[in-house]
Chain A
Amino acid sequence: MSLSFDRIKEKLNILADAAKYDVSCSSSGSVRKNNSDGLGDSSGMGICHSYTEDGRCVSLLKILLTNHCIFDCAYCVTRKSNDLQRAAFKIQEVVDLTINFYRRNYIEGLFLSSGIFKSPDYTMERLVMVAKKLRLVENFNGYIHLKSIPGASDELMREAGLYADRLSVNIEVPTISGLKLLAPDKKHEDFTKPMLKVKNEIIQYKSEKKIIKSTPKYAPAGQSTQMIVGATGESDKDIMYSATHYYKNYNMKRVYYSGYVPVAEDSRLPAIGTQVPMLRENRLYQTDWLLRFYGFGVQEILNNDHPNLDMDVDPKLGWALRNMQYFPVDINKADKSVLARIPGLGMKSVHKIISARRYRKLNWEHLKKIGVALNRAKYFIICDSNSWEHKDIEGTKIKGLILQNSVGKFRKEYSNQLQLFS
């Protein structure tokens, strides 16, 4: 017994280490009720069971089935030419790990990806077998996210969606030219074909479900994708326009942005030791959020005049400073969509303001109590108080005032980055 545990431990170290660059950790968006007194229940809301020392959420057992790979993509740590220890899990081993971790409340479920051994279909088939065994043999209702293998066949993608809650294919490099450069063995269609299949299956499932209640679920948490940021010279505009394309044309639930962690000595890539662009990654997520929940159009935030996001201020503040003609906004009168565009106001504050102003007109004190970040918001609003902080100050001046009075979490790193170029 202890012998096999040692071997499993070794495999787990290798195959978790190789899987960690996939940033998706979501375990939400899928309702899978435990109706059978079996194991597990997904309520639709994800739970982060722990956080790594780099601050990322751990909600799923995220591993590769194997890190053997027939491909040689420059950005990938498991690429063929990389000299590293290889391992592969047996199907039953992944099932046992998932069940035993889940029973101890370590995880919400499994995120299984893989290097490609033999062929895309051979690999995909094994991923599907793990999910199938978990559902049918172990009666497991926790979350399963399978990574689709680029180039896998439609039949396997269909089967995968019957057992997985979410499917994803990582497009990795945001531009087609970048992909050609870094992953010469892969074609753009290898990534988009499985996505298209999943999208169509979901649409079909939804229409059948309306007629036949018992239609088996198909990837109820939808599909997601990831792109690596900062490996090739693309602009933020390239990245976000590409993301918008995938949201729109493939019904993506989420697009993840992963700051490139140098894992290879390669002349096409940033050198090992280059700082991970975490601030940029953060700005991209903020932008993604503005597009999905705040009613912004991508061209408002990024365009030819403004192809890259500001590093010193968040994208909403950046947009507001370039569009002072929309301000100040009257907190006590403005519509929800207008309130959502005020820097320093999150959607939660917006909802609270709308609720609270039914009782009385709101002033600075109220807004502060509600949790509005007044250090930013005060330049853009009027409320039930005489003093108005805006007083026709121009955007650049406001920016200076805000930066002076704030201690952003990235201030230190930001100044480090500046020093690099000075």
Chain B
Amino acid sequence: MNATKTFIYDGSFNGFLTAIFVAFDEKTRVADIQKNTASQSGLFSETESIFTQMDKAQRVWNGIDKKSHTAIKDIYFAFLSETKGVEMLLYSYIRKMFTTTTSISSDYSDGTVLKISQLARSVGREKHRMEAFVRFQLTKDDICFSNIEPDFDVIPLITKHFRSRYADQQWLIYDVKRKYGIFYDLNQVEIITLDLDTAYTNSLNKSVHFGEEEYNYQDLWNNYFKSTNIKSRINLKLHKQHVPKRYWKYLSEKKAV
């Protein structure tokens, strides 16, 4: 019998799928699947480094997708939640998928399935929120720039939305927490890493990178936001529920000026 192993992968989704491939292919008894940035060796298992291989990842992706389209979406979304231990949860979900003949993605009375679908839902919710709460600021060299700081790694999920919506302007959405962003140059969207010395949030002081007109529009929006409030119906609890406080510093209508 094989000894138990801990897989160490590069943290990418394709890396994770490669690990799944290896686990199935070599019939490994998996003790854990860990990111190389956060690995902790187990006492009783040996470790194996997984090198991301696109063809293997693709085969796992296709295999799952063929069984259930809902499942592949839930798996990808749940993975992006970056929740501690999500890899093993997903591994057990995928194993379950391949050992039953029926689709399991809607078996909500199963603990693992429910947990994955809940994680996927949380990530889906934040994807939707980021589509709503991105606030572009127009730089002097005509790029619409936005900082975000989502709880989950949702940039891969929002690219398409912004690509089809803002096809005629250059834009850049930068995740402050994960230090990478997406840039659209009127032709295609690229993933870029930047080391910004300052986060150009909407709540900080004015920056020289943005023109006067930009601040005029922020000011108009801020004013609009205030004028459209009905004072006799005020409900701050509901307001905060819809617009969680952690997002406020990036919202031009919530800036404290």
B-binding residues in A (CB < 8 A): 1-2, 5, 8-9, 12-13, 16-17, 19-21, 33-34, 37-41, 43, 47-58, 61-62, 97, 100-101, 103-106, 139, 259, 261, 275-276, 278, 352, 355-356, 359-360, 362, 366, 369-370
Contact = CB atoms under 8 A, between A and B. Distances in A.
B216 A5 contact: yes
A101 B221 contact: yes
Name, among A21, A51, A356, A369, the residue most crowded by chain B CB atoms within 10 Å (CB to CB).
A51
12 contacts: A1-B212, A20-B227, A37-B167, A47-B131, A50-B251, A53-B235, A54-B230, A54-B239, A58-B228, A62-B228, A104-B221, A356-B109
Given A16-B227, A97-B220, A369 B167 contact: no
A16 B102 CA distance: 54
A336 to B, nearest CB: 15
B138 to A, nearest CB: 7
Q: Which 4 A-B pairs have the closest CB atoms?
A: A55-B238, A355-B106, A51-B242, A54-B233
B108 A370 contact: yes
Contacts of B228: 16-17, 19-20, 52, 58, 62
Contacts of A101: 217, 220-221
B144 A103 contact: yes
Interface string B88-129: 000000000000001000111110001000000000000010
Given A104-B137, A359-B109, A362-B109, A12 B169 contact: no
Contacts, number: 153
Nearest to B221: A106
B193 interface: no
Interface of B: 102, 106-110, 114, 128, 131-138, 144, 146, 161, 164-169, 212-213, 216-217, 219-221, 223-225, 227-239, 241-243, 251-253
A17 B227 contact: yes
Contact of B109 (A5, A38, A360): A360
Nearest to B253: A50
A47 B128 contact: yes
B26 to A, nearest CB: 31
A259 B235 CA distance: 15
B225 to A, nearest CB: 6
B227 A55 contact: no
Contacts of B144: 103-104
A356 B107 contact: yes
B2 to A, nearest CB: 32
Contacts of A1: 212-213, 216
A50 B225 contact: yes
Name, among B110, B133, B164, the residue most crowded by chain A CB atoms within 10 Å (CB to CB).
B164
Contacts of A33: 164
B203 to A, nearest CB: 15
B34 to A, nearest CB: 28
A103 B166 contact: yes
Nearest to A370: B108
Nearest to A278: B233
Contact of B135 (A9, A51, A58, A105): A105
A16 to B, nearest CB: 4
Nearest to B242: A51
B234 A103 contact: no
* Consensus secondary structure, chain B interface: helix
B164 A41 contact: yes
B179 to A, nearest CB: 22
Given A52-B239, A356-B108, A356-B109, A12 B227 contact: yes
A284 B231 CA distance: 22
A261 B230 contact: yes
A16 B221 contact: no
A47 B221 contact: no
Contacts of A41: 164-165, 167
B229 A53 contact: yes
B136 A105 contact: yes
Contact of A261 (B136, B169, B233, B235): B233
Given A54-B235, A370-B108, 5 more contacts: A52-B229, A103-B169, A105-B146, A106-B135, A356-B109
A33 B110 CA distance: 39
A377 B253 CA distance: 41
B229 A54 contact: yes
Contacts of B102: 359
Contacts of A37: 167-168
A47 B229 contact: no
Contacts of B135: 104-106
A311 to B, nearest CB: 18
B132 A48 contact: yes
A278 B243 CA distance: 21
Nearest to B243: A51
Given A51-B243, A55-B239, A39 B168 contact: yes
B165 A352 contact: no
Contacts of B128: 47
Name, among B135, B137, B169, the residue most crowded by chain A CB atoms within 10 Å (CB to CB).
B135
B224 A34 contact: no
Contacts of A52: 225, 228-230, 239
A106 B135 CA distance: 7
Contact of A20 (B107, B229, B252): B229
Nearest to A55: B238
A49 B132 contact: yes
B232 A261 contact: yes
A49 B237 CA distance: 18
A167 B241 CA distance: 31
Contacts of B237: 55
Contacts of A62: 228
A54 to B, nearest CB: 4
A333 B138 CA distance: 58
B165 A34 contact: yes
A37 B170 CA distance: 12
Contacts of A57: 242
A39 B169 contact: yes
B58 to A, nearest CB: 28
A352 B110 CA distance: 12
